[in-house]
Structure 1
Amino acid sequence: MDTSAYLSAVVEQTNTFADWVHGRDAAARVPTCPKWTLADLVDHVAATQRMVAMLVGERMTEPSRAFAGYVPAPTDSDQWRAWLTEGAAEAKQAFESVADDTPVWDPSGAAAGVPFWSRRLFGEVCVHRADAAAALGMRYELAPEPAVAAIEDWLDTMTSRGYWENKPDFADAMRGTGQTLHFHATDAPGEWLARREPDMVVLERTHTKADVAVRGPAAELLLVLSRRRPLEAASTLELHGDRALLDHWVGHMDWVTDP
């Protein structure tokens, strides 16, 4: 997917999310993010999209003003649909004003800028729509190709140099001596090998033997890797190898689970 396709998908996914949460109980708990209410979830999704729209639209190479520009979501859930759809539209418009090589700050350490944020917004809303589904009893569906793209975003961001350097607890937990985990989507092209090294997690897109392997439909693989569904509840996934290694990996994938 290119930047334009990602942003079109962000709008589509956000519109579905907005329809689900509109007018619902703001105090409803979000079981996949135990410290959050539905209001926290809506606020997080909308604030992130507006922050990125500012970063990209104003071509910021330093993020403090975008962080400081946080505007809370309305407390009245009857206003949520408009708030969310407007924010997604603003983000799409911001990306239309820049090129992929426009300098924009990003936290990955790779200076990926515009392409990083287009994919990040997509992965973000895909995962948080799963949170909304869990809170509201909705059925979560995501087509195989978009699900692969969301997995790519999740794994690439979590194994980035920037994430490693800015999350010392995560880095300490992920240090290894070459242990390998293989993730394989079976309904669309997508395979990843994560190798735990002393100073980083190396991510490769390849098919090879590993200490533990998980394979199955991309949407369900996304939910397990992002800690939105326990492996025991993911009946379509196959596990081969060291379950403890997988549990350790998933157990430390705690990004965006707290407000």
Structure 2
Amino acid sequence: METSAYLNAVVEQTNTLAGWVHGRDATAPVPTCPKWTLADLVDHVGATQRMVAMLVGERMTEPDSAYARYVPAPGDPAQWRDWLTGTAAEAEQAFASVTDDTPVWDPSGAAAGVPFWSRRLFGEACVHRADAAAALGLPYELAPELAVAAIEDWLDTLTSRGYWENRPDFADAMRGSGQTLHFHATDASGEWLARREPDRVVLERTHTKADITVRGPAADLLLVLSRRRPLSATPTLELHGDRTLIDRWIEHMDWVTGD
């Protein structure tokens, strides 16, 4: 997906989320993010979008200034819809003012800049809309092609050099000697092979035999990999191989789950 397509999807996903949470109970728990209330979720989504809009729009090459200008979500849930649609619009406007090669800081360790952030905001919107659905008892649907793009964001971010260096707990858990996990979306084009090496997790886009294969609809695969739905509660996914490898992988996918 191109940057503009990611941002269009960010606006669409956020607008849906904004409609869901508008006027709802701020203290409602978010089951998929055990330490969060609905207010925490709204604050995280909108504040992240605003921070990224500042990073990109002001071409920041270090993040401290953006972090220091954090603005919390309104305390009144009746203001949430306008606030969230506004933060998404700010992000879309910021990205429209730059090109993919505009220098902007990002945490990947690969100087990915604008493309990193456009995809990251998209992945955030997709996964956190699932959190809102869980909190409000609403069904979650995501087009297979979008779900594949969100899986790509999730896996690429968690296997990046920056994530490995900044999350030593994850790095220690994922060190290996070549163990392989294959994730395969069956309703859209998307396959990934994760290979656990001593110094990193290598991510490839390929179809090949692996120690464990997990295959099924892309949206269900996204929810399981992001720990938004237990594997045991997702009968649409097929497993072939060493179950302990995927259990260990999911156990340590605790990034942005509020626990």
Q: SS at the partner of 1:33?
A: coil
Please state how far the C-alpha of 1:239 moved relative to its aligned partner: 0.6
- Amino acid of the residue matched to residue 35 of structure 2? K
Q: TM-score, normalised by structure 1?
A: 0.99
- CA distance in 2 between counterparts of 1:257 and 1:189 reads 27
C-alpha displacement of 1:232? 1.1
Paired position in structure 2 for 1:188: 188
Q: Counterpart amino acid of 2:95? A: F
1:4 aligned residue: 4
Residue in 1 aligned with 2:92? 92
| 1:257 positional shift | 1.0
1:258 Cα shift? 1.8
Paired with 1:237 and 1:188, the residues of 2 have a C-alpha distance of 14
Residue aligning to 1:52: 52
What is the CA distance between 1:37 and its match in structure 2? 0.2
> 2 CA distance for matches of 1:136 and 1:234?
20
| Residue of structure 2 in register with 1:228 after alignment | 228
For 1:10-29, list aligned pairs within 5 A.
10-29=10-29
The residue number in structure 2 matching 1:139 is 139
Gaps spanning 5+ residues in structure 1: where? none
- Provide the secondary structure at the position in 2 that maps to 1:193: strand
Give the aligned partner of residue 103 of structure 2.
103
Cα distance in structure 2, aligned partners of 1:22 and 1:210: 45
Supply the distance in 2 between the matched residues of 1:47 and 1:174 (Cα, whole angstroms): 30
2:43 counterpart residue number: 43
1:14-42 CA distances to partner (integer Å, 9 max, x unpaired)?
A: 00000000000000000000000000000
Shift of 1:7: 0.2
Task: Could you tell me which runs of 5 or more consecutive residues in structure 2 were left unpaired when the two chains were aligned.
Answer: none
CA RMSD of aligned residues (A): 0.6
Aligned-partner SS, 1:140:
coil
Q: Secondary structure at the match of 1:191?
A: strand
Q: Does 1:243 align with 2:243?
A: yes
TM-score by length of 2: 0.99
Match of 2:89, SS state, is helix
Structure 2 partner of 1:118: 118
Please name the residue that 1:64 is paired with: 64
| Whole-angstrom CA distance in 1 between matches of 2:104 and 2:124 | 19
Number of residue pairs the alignment of both structures matches: 259
- Shift of residue 235, structure 1, vs aligned partner: 1.5
Q: CA deviation at 1:201?
A: 0.2
Q: Distance in 2 between matches of 1:252 and 1:78?
A: 36
How big is each residue's C-alpha offset from its partner over 1:25-78, in whole Å with a ceiling of 9 and x where there is no partner? Answer: 000000000000000000000000000000000000000000111000001000
Q: In the TM superposition, what are the counterparts of 1:163-174 in structure 2 within 5 Å?
A: 163-174=163-174
Q: CA separation in 1, counterparts of 2:160 and 2:80?
A: 33
